[in-house]
Amino acid sequence: MSVLHTLHYHYKHKTTRAHLIWSCRAPDLLIELAEEIGQMMNRGENLDLHLQLYHTGEGTLEIPLENATANTKAFFDCLTEGRPDFPQVLKDIKNDAKENHCRKAGMFICGSGTFRDAILRNIPHSPNCFFNIHSESFSL
């Protein structure tokens, strides 16, 4: 989440749009970071965070909402069971950049090499929007 913190604090005087598309198998990790990311979503300051969460693990995710804050609830409102439709997600990001008169969309991809390659194959080509990509790979 340090990338989001950097966007938030580095661009204090400039509105920054960020699309966080997070695909995660581990429900504990989603639950652990819900409050922190929910706070970033609800700040309403310079970071305009668009969150899409995907739980790809086995079974249904049990969401602990009994004592949840508004931040945690906002986080889990973005949750979908299953995998993201990357061709559509990337097309939506390209269209969002175009609508906001941005010619560049930055991407940070973190996951396995196979995951990274699947995303890279689906980046829409357009003379109006350039995807600037940084990736880090790991294996579980």
Q: Give me the tens of pLDDT residue by residue for the chain, a chain 140 residues long.
A: 555 566 555 555 555 777 788 888 888 888 888 888 888 777 666 667 788 888 988 877 888 888 888 888 888 888 899 988 989 998 988 888 888 888 888 778 887 888 888 888 988 887 878 888 888 876 66
- pLDDT for the residue 88: 92
- pLDDT for the residue 85: 92
- pLDDT for the residue 68: 87
36, 2 Cβ separation under 8 angstroms: no
30, 55 Cβ separation under 8 angstroms: yes
- pLDDT for the residue 14: 59
Burial class of residue 107, CB neighbours in 10 A (0-12, 13-18, 19+): middle
